[in-house]
């Protein structure tokens, strides 16, 4: 479409326009009412520059100020920091993959948790993959019962009839695969909220299983397959999104990603682990965690990158009979590039963090390697990380009940320079895959 200049103003009424309903006017709610999509944000013209340069389209004609692009990064209760949630204590062997946890475990109501066997579509591909473990999954929780379509949930108002969802570890009796299913009905009472799902029924019972969004939105608007060719009859993989008119809005409850922690025995030998998986945007990534021979301090065990999905963890080097346990720490990755602490606002356990403690700017080495930091930057809540923590108090450890909420003020440079051909200013350099 051609660019255009006009006097304005622009008024977007949406469902406020209303329709005549008998003797009164009623709102006419349409699925595409909003929100509006504005490429590269909004700029306010400098009122001192008159007349407005309306008759040309040379870049930079009209002075203006950029409106702050303030976005929700994440807003959810992280799973409690813990050892052994990725891999139980075991003897590790050089060049051999560690045995990861493969069965869904119970979570805490309303909190994100690990999900087993969640299918995803990696960035830039057309082939669905199923990583072994997904970290801090879900926007809600629900308890499944074998062979029952009723799922008590923590909050029924977060669901919509017809919505496609993914229930962590509920696809089989072993709890080794997640269930993709559709919401059929909702009981949104505060006493006993629940949803019914179908056509597939949960095959196992999971207490407070994490529930995330699946990839089919607006399915009722798709043409019938028999008339116009293939159409998506059901969802196929998880996405961190919620529907918002024409847009799929990235849900801050589904954008948590965090670091991996390796705990090893006391044998005097260097131990390394190569973690392979995907970040929150399904971009492949890898990290090499090294625990040096002469350094058994806990800070040596913490990864720096924020993983969302883990495919494998392989021991690179290890002494004979060396044991290791793998868990998660309290270093959380920003979903958008945060070049400066001043571009973030962090709230943890009901309090706004007043200093830059815990903030680490993104690694900009390009291409990234498996030992560089996170490509969008991180915030470290507690001592369960290798850098400076917001607080060294034990109470700051994530516990499954405290909420982490972060907003990001995307910088002017980042906003204006990010394009489909150059995503680095907004999403950082490409992750390491070696």
Q: What is the pLDDT of residues 389-414, one digit of tens each?
A: 988 777 678 999 999 999 999 999 99
Between 120 and 433, name the one with better pLDDT.
120
Judged against a pLDDT cut of 60, whether residue 295 lies above it is answered with: no
Kindly report the number of other CB atoms within 10 A of residue 172's CB atom: 15
Residue 56 confidence (pLDDT): 73
Measured CA to CA, the distance from residue 197 to residue 187 in angstroms comes to 12
Between 264 and 149, name the one with better pLDDT.
149
Q: What percent of the chain has pLDDT over 70?
A: 92
What strands, in cross-sheet order, belong to the sheet with 404-410?
A: 69-76, 404-410, 344-348, 351-352
Judged against a pLDDT cut of 60, whether residue 95 lies above it is answered with: yes
Residue 392, token pair as written in the block:
């060294």
**Alpha carbon separation from 328 to 101, 134, 297, 384 (Å, rounded):** 13, 12, 17, 8
R_g (Cα) of the chain, nearest Å: 24
Q: What is the pLDDT of residues 326-341, one digit of tens each?
A: 999 999 999 999 999 9
For 200, half-sphere exposure in the C-beta direction (CA atoms, 13 angstrom radius) is 17
- Domain assignments of the chain as residue spans, ordered by start: 140-250
Mapped to the 3 state alphabet, what secondary structure does the chain carry? CCCCCCCCCCCCCHHHHCEEECCEEECCCCCCCCCCCCCCCCEEECCCCCCCCCCCCCCCCCCEEECCEEEEEEEECCCCCEEEEEEEEEECCCCEECCCCCCCCCCCCCCCEEEECCCECCCCCCCCECCCEEEEECCEEECCCCCCCEEEECCHHHCCCCCEEEECCCCCCCCCCCEEEEEEEEECCCCCCEEEEECCCCCCCCCCEEEEEECCCCHHHCCCHHHHCCCCCCCCCEECEEEECCEEEECHHHCCCEEEEEEECCCCCCEEEEEEEECCCCCEEEEEEEECCCCCCHHHHECCCCECEEEEEEEEECCCCCEEEEEEEEEEECCCCCCCHHHEEEEECCEECCCCCCEECCCCCCCCCCCCCCCCCEEECCCCCCCCCCCCCHHHCCCCCCCEEEEEEECHHHHHHCECCECHHHHCCCCCCC
Kindly indicate the confidence band of residue 72, based on its pLDDT and cuts at 50, 70 and 90: very high
Q: What is the pLDDT of residues 110-148, one digit of tens each?
A: 999 999 999 999 999 999 999 999 999 999 999 999 989
Residue 179, token pair as written in the block:
């269930």
Kindly indicate the confidence band of residue 345, based on its pLDDT and cuts at 50, 70 and 90: very high
Kindly report the number of other CB atoms within 10 A of residue 270's CB atom: 15
Residue 34 confidence (pLDDT): 85
Kindly indicate the confidence band of residue 369, based on its pLDDT and cuts at 50, 70 and 90: very high
Kindly indicate the confidence band of residue 275, based on its pLDDT and cuts at 50, 70 and 90: very high
Is-cis flag, bond preceding 129, omega within 30?
A: no
Quote the mean pLDDT of the chain: 90
Cβ atoms 309, 353 nearer than 8 A: no
* Pairing status of strand 258-264 against strand 247-250: unpaired
**Which stretch, 13-17, 22-26, 100-104, 214-218, has highest mean pLDDT?**
100-104
Kindly indicate the confidence band of residue 420, based on its pLDDT and cuts at 50, 70 and 90: very high
**pTM recorded for the entire structure:** 0.93
Q: What is the pLDDT of residues 191-245, one digit of tens each?
A: 899 999 987 778 789 999 999 999 998 876 665 555 555 556 789 999 999 999 8
Residue 361 confidence (pLDDT): 97
415-429: average pLDDT: 95
Judged against a pLDDT cut of 90, whether residue 319 lies above it is answered with: no
Residue 228 confidence (pLDDT): 52
Residue 22 confidence (pLDDT): 66
Measured CA to CA, the distance from residue 405 to residue 345 in angstroms comes to 8
Residue 266 confidence (pLDDT): 67
Residue 68 confidence (pLDDT): 80
């Amino acid at each position: 479409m051609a660019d255009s200049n006009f006097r304005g103003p622009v008024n977007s009424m949406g469902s406020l326009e209303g329709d005549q309903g008998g003797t009164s006017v009623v709102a006419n709610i349409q699925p595409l009412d909003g929100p509006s999509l504005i490429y590269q944000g909004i700029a306010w013209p400098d009122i001192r520059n008159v007349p407005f340069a309306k008759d040309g389209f040379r870049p930079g004609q009209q002075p203006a100020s950029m409106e702050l692009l303030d976005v929700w990064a994440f807003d959810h209760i992280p799973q409690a920091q813990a050892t052994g949630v990725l891999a139980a204590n075991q003897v590790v062997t050089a060049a051999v993959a560690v045995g990861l946890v493969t069965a869904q475990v119970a979570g805490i109501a309303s909190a994100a948790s690990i999900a087993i066997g969640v299918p995803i579509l990696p960035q830039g591909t057309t082939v669905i993959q199923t990583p072994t473990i997904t970290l801090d999954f879900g926007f809600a929780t629900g308890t499944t019962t074998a062979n029952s379509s009723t799922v008590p949930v923590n909050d029924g108002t977060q669901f919509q009839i017809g919505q496609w969802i993914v229930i962590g570890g509920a696809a089989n009796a072993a709890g080794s695969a997640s269930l993709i299913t559709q919401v059929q009905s909702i009981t949104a009472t505060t006493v006993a909220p629940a949803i019914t799902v179908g056509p597939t029924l949960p095959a196992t019972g999971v207490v407070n299983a994490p529930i995330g969004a699946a990839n089919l939105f607006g399915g009722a608007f798709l043409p019938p397959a028999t008339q116009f060719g293939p159409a998506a009859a059901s969802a196929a993989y998880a996405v961190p999104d919620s529907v918002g008119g024409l847009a799929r809005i990235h849900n801050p409850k589904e954008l948590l990603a965090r670091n991996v922690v390796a705990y090893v025995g006391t044998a005097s030998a260097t131990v390394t682990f190569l973690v392979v998986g995907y970040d929150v945007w399904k971009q492949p990534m890898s990290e090499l965690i090294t625990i040096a021979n002469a350094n058994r301090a806990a800070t040596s065990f913490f990864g720096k990158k924020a993983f969302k999905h883990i495919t494998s963890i392989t021991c690179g080097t290890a002494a004979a009979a060396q044991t290791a346990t793998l868990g998660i720490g309290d270093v959380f990755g920003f979903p958008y590039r945060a070049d400066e602490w001043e571009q973030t606002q962090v709230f943890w356990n009901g309090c706004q963090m007043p200093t830059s403690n815990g903030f680490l700017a993104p690694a900009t080495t390009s291409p990234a390697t498996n030992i560089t930091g996170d490509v969008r930057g991180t915030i470290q809540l507690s001592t369960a990380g290798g850098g400076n923590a917001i607080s060294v108090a034990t109470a700051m450890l994530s516990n499954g009940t405290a909420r982490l909420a972060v907003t990001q003020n995307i910088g002017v440079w980042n906003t204006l320079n990010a394009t489909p051909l150059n995503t680095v200013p907004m999403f950082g350099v490409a992750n390491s895959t070696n």
